[in-house]
Structure 1
Amino acid sequence: MNPRWHKVVRDYAEALIIALILAFFIRSFVVQAFKIPSGSMLETLQIGDQLLVNKFLYGIKVPFTDITVVPISDPEHGDIIVFRYPLDESKDYIKRVIGLPGDTLEMRDNVVYRNGERLDEPYLAGLPAKNFPPAHNFGPVTLPDNKYFCMGDNRENSSDSRYWGFVDRSQIVGKAWRIYWSWDGPFSIRWSRLGSLVE
Structure 2
Amino acid sequence: MSALTGFLYAILVAYLGGWYFGYWTGNFSLLLFILTVVTLAYWLAERFHFKPARDKAAAELVANDAQRREKLAAQGIERVDGDVEGARQQILQQPWWLDWTAGLFPVILIVFLLRSFLFEPFKIPSGSMVPTLRVGDLILVNKFHYGIRLPVIDKKIISNHDVQRGDVMVFRYPVNPTQDYIKRVVGIPGDEIAYLNQKLFVNGQPIEEQSLGNFYDDDAMVYRPQFTEKLTGVEHNILVDPTRQTPPVPRLNFPFIENCRYSVEGVTCKVPAGHYFMMGDNRDNSEDSRFWGFVPDENIVGKAFFVWMNFGNLKRIGSFH
Which range, TM-score by smaller chain? 0.7 to 0.9
- The question of 1:62 aligning with 2:150 is answered yes
AA at the equivalent of 2:283: R
Q: Distance in 1 between matches of 2:182 and 2:167?
A: 10
Q: Distance in 2 between matches of 1:40 and 1:105?
A: 19
- The question of 1:73 aligning with 2:195 is answered no
Q: Distance in 2 between matches of 1:54 and 1:129?
A: 37
Matched residue, 1:198: 320
Consecutive unaligned residues in structure 1, runs of 5 or more: 184-188
- The question of 1:137 aligning with 2:266 is answered yes
Kept after mapping to 1: 8 A contact 2:247/2:266: no
Matched residue, 1:108: 196
Output one character per residue of 1:1-56: Cα deviation in whole Å (capped at 9) or x when no partner: 75556667499776531111111111111111111111000011001111111111
Matched residue, 2:285: 157
TM-score (norm 2): 0.55
Give the structure with the higher percent helix: 2
Which residue among 238, 259, 262 is the counterpart of 1:124? 238
Consecutive unaligned residues in structure 2, runs of 5 or more: 1-53, 55-86, 210-227, 229-236, 249-264
TM-score (norm 1): 0.86
Q: Distance in 2 between matches of 1:176 and 1:166?
A: 19
Kept after mapping to 1: 8 A contact 2:198/2:240: no
- 1:198 CA drift (Å): 2.6
- The question of 1:180 aligning with 2:303 is answered no
AA at the equivalent of 1:21: L
Indicate the structure (1 or 2) with the bigger Cα radius of gyration.
2
**RMSD, aligned CA:** 2.4
Q: Distance in 2 between matches of 1:129 and 1:16?
A: 55
Matched residue, 2:57: none
Q: Aligned in 2, Cα 1:120/1:16: closer, same or farther, shift over 3 Å?
A: same
Higher relative contact order (CA 8 A, sep 6+): 1
Kept after mapping to 1: 8 A contact 2:172/2:179: yes
Q: Aligned in 2, Cα 1:17/1:116: closer, same or farther, shift over 3 Å?
A: same
Q: How many residues align?
A: 191
Q: Aligned in 2, Cα 1:177/1:15: closer, same or farther, shift over 3 Å?
A: farther
Matched residue, 1:186: none
